[in-house]
Amino acid sequence: MKERILPKNDKLKSDGENNSLILFNDEINTFDHVIKSLVEICGHDSVQAEQCALIVHLKGSCEIKCGMKEVLLAMSKSLNAKGLTTKVANY
């Protein structure tokens, strides 16, 4: 099977939805708390959660999950309950 290269503006869609969960930096939560929350709620492994926490710290925000809006809204609500600042965005 020959590999097919998609143009940069094409994205693979799942169920026609292009939603992402964005985590924002704050001065309150520790790295350990953020990492533990991402592992618990988003299903990240510890390395992925640590990388997301570092990106958020350095850049101010990071896309931490993509998928269906309803699922991401539930994750966002759970992360917000733990004191993290998140938003579900359509891209």
Which residue is it, tokens 């292009």? 18
Average pLDDT estimate for 69-73: 96
| Residue 5 pLDDT class (50, 70, 90 cuts) | low
In order of 3, 5, 58, the CA distances from 46 in angstroms are 32, 31, 18
- With a pLDDT cut of 90, the percent of the chain lying above it is 78
Using CB atoms within 10 A of its CB, is residue 69 exposed (0-12), middle (13-18) or buried (19+)?
middle
What domains does the chain contain, in order, with CATH numbers?
19-90 (3.30.1390.10)
Predicted confidence at residue 68, as pLDDT, reads 95
pLDDT digits (tens, 9 = 90+) for 23-56: 999 999 999 999 999 999 999 999 999 999 999 9
* Segments of 37-82 assigned E as strands: 61-67
Picking from 63, 53, 59, the residue whose alpha carbon sits closest to that of residue 86 is 63
Average pLDDT score, the chain: 88
Structure token digits, residue 19: 């939603």
